[in-house]
Structure 1
Amino acid sequence: MLVISRFDVPETDGDGFLERARAALGAFAARPGFVRGRIGRSADVPTAWALTTEWESVGSFRRALSDFDVKVHASTLLAESSDEPSAFELMGSWDGPVETAGRTDRAVDADTTRVGERPVTRG
């Protein structure tokens, strides 16, 4: 699972944001299921930043969010991110010269059944 959070950070606050983002990555990195994380700033728009993390599964990311250190360092930072979709299934990747195909973990009824709903069964 890939989580991409984008931020609009005034240029004068960049150093402080970077410090906070590093603390957030440190808290995430200590959690089971964390694969990797990165902090980036746009080369074209210096106020645009991104924090990306990769996780073994949706569950490992969601469980990480309940950790105390993550709540202190990462959740407060993520609350400042742009209001847009941020969690994505990995459907493929290039790690160096090797392409890796992803597979979906979505349920077959994910487009018709929402969290907390029971699927309709006929019988």
Structure 2
Amino acid sequence: MIVVNRFRVPLPRGEEFRAQLQAAYEVLAAQRGFASGRIGRNVDDPELWLLHTEWRDVGSYRRALSTYDAKLTAVPTLSLAVDEPSAYEPVVPGAVLNDPQARSIG
């Protein structure tokens, strides 16, 4: 599962937000089921930030968000994200997309 969170942050708050986003990333990266991730900032619009993470499955991501450390550190930062869908499924040749199976199984 791929999660893309975008954030609109005024330039004067950029460095403060960078530290918050790094802390959120580190908490998420320490959770079971975390596969990879990175932080980015848009090259044409420096007020636009990105947190990209990949997870073993939807359940891993949901469980990660429910941990104490995530609720304390990551969730407050993630709540600042642009209000848009953020969860994506990998698209690989031959895969059935949007399979209606239970998404929390993992």
- Quick check: TM above 0.5? yes
1:106 equivalent in alignment to 2:106 = no
Structure ranking higher in helix proportion = 2
Residue by residue over 1:24-57, the C-alpha shift from the partner in whole angstroms, topping out at 9 and shown as x without a partner, is 1111111100011111000000101111110000
1:30 equivalent in alignment to 2:23 = no
Task: Quote the residue 1:51 is aligned against.
Answer: 51
Runs (4+) of structure 1 exceeding 4 A deviation are none
1:90 equivalent in alignment to 2:83 = no
Q: Please give the alpha-carbon distance, in whole angstroms, between the structure 2 residues aligned to 1:72 and 1:81.
A: 16
- The one-letter amino acid of 2:63's match is R
1:34–1:60 contact (8 Å) kept in structure 2: yes
Paired residues for 1:12-31 under 5 Å: 12-31=12-31
Task: Quote the residue 2:73 is aligned against.
Answer: 73
Do the aligned partners of residues 59 and 13 (structure 1) sit closer, same or farther apart at CA in structure 2, a change above 3 Å counting? same
How far does residue 105 in structure 1 lie from its aligned partner after superposition?
6.8
Count residues in correspondence: 101
Do the aligned partners of residues 55 and 61 (structure 1) sit closer, same or farther apart at CA in structure 2, a change above 3 Å counting? same
Unaligned runs of 5+ in 2: none
Task: Quote the residue 2:8 is aligned against.
Answer: 8
| Structure 2 counterpart SS, 1:16 | helix
Greater C-alpha Rg: 1
Q: Please give the alpha-carbon distance, in whole angstroms, between the structure 2 residues aligned to 1:31 and 1:105.
A: 25
Report percent identity of matched pairs: 46
Greater RCO structure (CA 8 Å; 6+ sep) = 2
Tell me how large the CA RMSD over aligned residues is. 1.8
Q: Please give the alpha-carbon distance, in whole angstroms, between the structure 1 residues aligned to 2:66 and 2:59.
A: 11
Unaligned runs of 5+ in 1: 93-100, 111-123
Q: Please give the alpha-carbon distance, in whole angstroms, between the structure 2 residues aligned to 1:69 and 1:17.
A: 18
Q: Please give the alpha-carbon distance, in whole angstroms, between the structure 2 residues aligned to 1:49 and 1:37.
A: 14
1:90–1:102 contact (8 Å) kept in structure 2: no
